[in-house]
């Protein structure tokens, strides 16, 4: 069985957008290294967030942090190079839109970033099965993407269990990340099911100490 270290990846979507550098600084001061960057195009999701320029500016201020970049875009293949150059360490693309997925995963790898794939709450997890040997991380959405502050969709839990089972059966080492509506009250169940990478926006910035305690990351 592959054991990945548990990571908390706070989403700066939940930070003060007039001062995103302070949002990243709070992550660093909590002793964490992963930063979750939610990139939205107003098409795949009904919202806009921020782009590669912001990622690049934050990379300049925080050279040592791990930038976990979640592309919620209809045409992610057009932006891989841009986000890699801006400083993304891991680039996650969704499987739902119609674009050249295989070539996109290959491009992320060739450019030297880690490769992630994501699925929405309504997308069956079996649709990812054929990709598992090619990815470093699977991101299970536990809300319909587009906005922070929504409630956790428990359909994510069975997907996490299935991905953990397949990881064992296939002898693979991909991370299982869960994103959306995570709180100090529900994070333990995600970890128990086999998730090792937890995204939290609202809860990290409002209740981060309790969240970290619930994850066993602090006393
Ligand atoms: C949703 C984003 C999430 C979001 C999580 O579209 O992908 O990363 O920021 O925010 P909370 O933790 O507030 O649900
Ligand atoms: Zn996200």
Q: Is 37 in the pocket of ligand 1 (CB under 6 A)?
A: no
Domains of the chain: 7-214 (3.20.20.70)
Query: Is 90 exceeded by the pLDDT of residue 1?
Result: no
Q: Is 149 in the pocket of ligand 1 (CB under 6 A)?
A: yes
In sequence order, the 6+-apart residues with CB closer than 8 A to the CB of 3 are none
Name the band, by pLDDT with cuts 50, 70 and 90, for residue 2. Answer: low
Which one, of 55, 45, 46, lies nearest residue 80 by Cα? Answer: 55
SS3 category, 41: strand
- Do residues 215 and 5 lie in contact, with contact meaning Cβ atoms separated by under 8 Å? no
Q: In what order do the strands lie in the sheet with 197-200?
A: 7-10, 197-200, 175-179, 137-141, 114-119, 90-94, 66-72, 34-40
Please tell me the number of the ligand nearest to residue 151's CA.
1
pLDDT in tens, 79-123: 999 999 999 999 999 999 999 999 999 999 999 999 999 999 999
Cα separations in angstroms, 108 against 32, 162, 213: 24, 25, 34
What count of other Cβ atoms lies within 10 Å of the Cβ of residue 48?
12
Which residue intervals of the chain are DSSP H helices? Answer: 20-29, 52-61, 80-86, 101-110, 155-170, 187-193, 202-214
Q: What is the mean pLDDT of the chain?
A: 98
Q: Ligand 1, closest atom to CA 182?
A: 12
- Do residues 156 and 141 lie in contact, with contact meaning Cβ atoms separated by under 8 Å? yes
Name the band, by pLDDT with cuts 50, 70 and 90, for residue 193. Answer: very high
Its pTM surpasses 0.85: yes
Ligand 2 center to residue 165 CA distance, Å?
23
Q: Atom 4, ligand 1: which residue's CA is nearest? A: 148
Tell me which DSSP letter residue 48 carries: B
Q: Is 136 in the pocket of ligand 1 (CB under 6 A)?
A: no
């Amino acid at each position: 069985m592959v054991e990945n270290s548990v990571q908390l990846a706070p989403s700066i979507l939940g930070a003060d957008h007039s001062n995103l550098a302070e949002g990243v600084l709070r992550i660093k001061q909590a002793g964490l290294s992963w930063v979750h960057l939610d990139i939205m195009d107003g098409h795949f999701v009904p919202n806009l967030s921020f782009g590669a320029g912001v990622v690049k500016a934050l990379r300049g201020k925080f050279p040592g942090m791990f930038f976990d970049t979640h592309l919620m875009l209809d045409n992610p293949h057009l932006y891989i190079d841009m986000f890699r150059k801006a400083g993304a360490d891991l680039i996650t693309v969704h499987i739902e839109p119609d674009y050249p997925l295989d070539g996109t995963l290959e491009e992320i790898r060739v450019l030297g970033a880690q490769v992630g794939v994501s699925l929405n709450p309504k997308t069956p997890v079996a649709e990812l099965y054929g990709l598992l040997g090619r990815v470093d991380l699977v991101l299970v959405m536990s809300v319909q993407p587009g906005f922070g502050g929504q409630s956790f969709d428990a359909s994510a839990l069975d997907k996490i269990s299935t991905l953990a089972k397949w990881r064992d059966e296939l002898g693979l080492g991909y991370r299982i990340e869960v994103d959306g509506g995570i709180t100090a009250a529900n994070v333990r169940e995600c970890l128990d099911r086999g998730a090792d990478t937890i995204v939290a926006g609202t809860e990290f910035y409002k209740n981060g100490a309790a969240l970290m305690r619930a994850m066993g990351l602090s006393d």
